[in-house]
Amino acid sequence: MRTRVTEMFGIRYPVIQGGMVWVAGWRLAAAVSEAGGLGLIGSGSMKADVLREHIRNAHQATRMPFGVNVPLLREDAEELLLTALEEGITIFFTSAGNPEKFTKPLLDKHCTVVHVVSSVRQAIKAYMAGCHAVVGEGVEAGGHNGPAEISTMCLIPQLVDAVPIPVIAAGGIADGRGLAAALALGAEAVQVGTRFITAVESSAHDTFKRLVLEAADDGTVLTFRALAPVRLLRTPFARRVIEAEQRGATVDELRRLLGRKREMRGMSEGDVEEGQFEAGQCAALVKDIAPASAIIERMITGCHNAIMRVARFTDS
Ligand SMILES: Cc1cc2nc3c(=O)[nH]c(=O)nc-3n(C[C@H](O)[C@H](O)[C@H](O)COP(=O)(O)O)c2cc1C
């Protein structure tokens, strides 16, 4: 499968594994890259020294290209970027913040920079900042969402029309049908998060993996709209947030309810009562724990099958 994105990174399949806090360490990123996709180390839950270790381990584990995701709103974003550069990283997926500040310095160092966007306005901004591609992330996606709450189905074709750089679709893509649909919408690759939570190589707590496997069609909910919208599994903590929001809790109350380290307590430590578990609507499509290589192979086979199925409709 050849698109501008596979060419850009020198990868076999147009499948990128999203950089995910507490889930996407070196094991997952290396396994995805070895399997022909592009693995990303999620630095959002790491201090600089931890990131350095993950990059070194990934370099030991694979010679295939892999990258690092850096959420730009982090206070230490610059330190994370510099650490990744020192360790030889040339592929950066930036998110959650303004792409203007860091894109140019990364381009000066001959890096490939992709920014995650959730609206047409943000995509144009990323393009103007010099990004090589954008990830268009719909509101179905797990984790932090954009305030515009646009679905992947509606967002991707608008981005394709708005910017000349390649668009990578994210949000709700868990199998080959989703990949085929994204390509049909004009995307040139997909960024997959939730499906990889239950990869063998993911560092998600076993309880987190189990919760994803058990999720039903309405198993996730968009919370904390007044702070920073985040899609969570409907666990006891998420229900408390929904209740607070429904009775009109103030921003300060929500901030107090969120407290600190909820992500770590949930996704890394498996605390079902108090933790926060980020996952997308497509959790309902995730049925097993499997090696990253199997997830990708199935996705590619499923994509071919979906395209053939559609082609048969037009044969007659
Ligand atoms: C557990 C989890 C953690 C995530 N953490 C990050 C992150 O640190 N940085 C980021 O840019 N995106 C993050 N995301 C978003 C993913 O990179 C990806 O874009 C998204 O999951 C795609 O939608 P999907 O969940 O429907 O596959 C996270 C998603 C999940 C599910």
- Burial of 262-272, coded b for 16+ CB within 10 Å and e otherwise, reads bbbbbbbebbb
Q: Whose CA is nearest to atom 3 of ligand 1?
A: 20
pLDDT given for residue 18 in this prediction:
98
> Of 78, 36, 88, whose CA–CA distance to 58 is shortest?
88
The answer to whether 21 and 45 are in contact (CB under 8 A) is yes
pLDDT given for residue 282 in this prediction:
98
Structural domain spans, the chain: 4-203+290-315, 206-282
| pTM of the predicted protein model | 0.97
Strand-strand pairing, 66-71 and 91-95: parallel
* Furthest CA-CA distance within the chain: 61
Ligand 1 centroid, distance to 197 Cα (angstroms): 10
Ligand 1 centroid, distance to 251 Cα (angstroms): 24
Ligand 1 centroid, distance to 20 Cα (angstroms): 5
Q: Which residues contact 185 (CB under 8 A, 6 or more apart)?
A: 153, 156, 157, 160, 169
68, containing H or E segment: strand 66-71
Q: What are the strands, taking DSSP E only, across 79-203?
A: 91-95, 112-117, 133-137, 143-144, 167-170, 189-192
205: its two tokens: 């707590």
pLDDT given for residue 314 in this prediction:
83
pLDDT given for residue 121 in this prediction:
97
| Residues of the chain under the 70 pLDDT cut | 316
How far is 130 from 132, CA to CA, in rounded Å?
Answer: 6
pLDDT given for residue 103 in this prediction:
96
Paired with 232 in beta bridges are 221, 278
34, containing H or E segment: helix 26-34
Ligand 1 centroid, distance to 315 Cα (angstroms): 38
pLDDT given for residue 15 in this prediction:
98
Ligand 1 centroid, distance to 170 Cα (angstroms): 9
Ligand 1 atom index nearest CA of 45: 8
What lines the ligand 1 site, CB under 6 Å? 18-21, 23, 42, 44, 69, 71, 95, 116, 137, 140-143, 170-173, 191-194, 197, 267, 278-280, 282
Q: What's the pLDDT tens digit per position in 149-167?
A: 999 999 999 999 999 999 9
By most ligand atoms within 8 Å of CB, the mutation choice from 21, 113, 267 for ligand 1 is: 21
pLDDT given for residue 316 in this prediction:
62
- Overall fold of domain 4-203+290-315: TIM Barrel (3.20.20)
Angle between helices 48-61 and 77-86 (to 10 degrees): 30
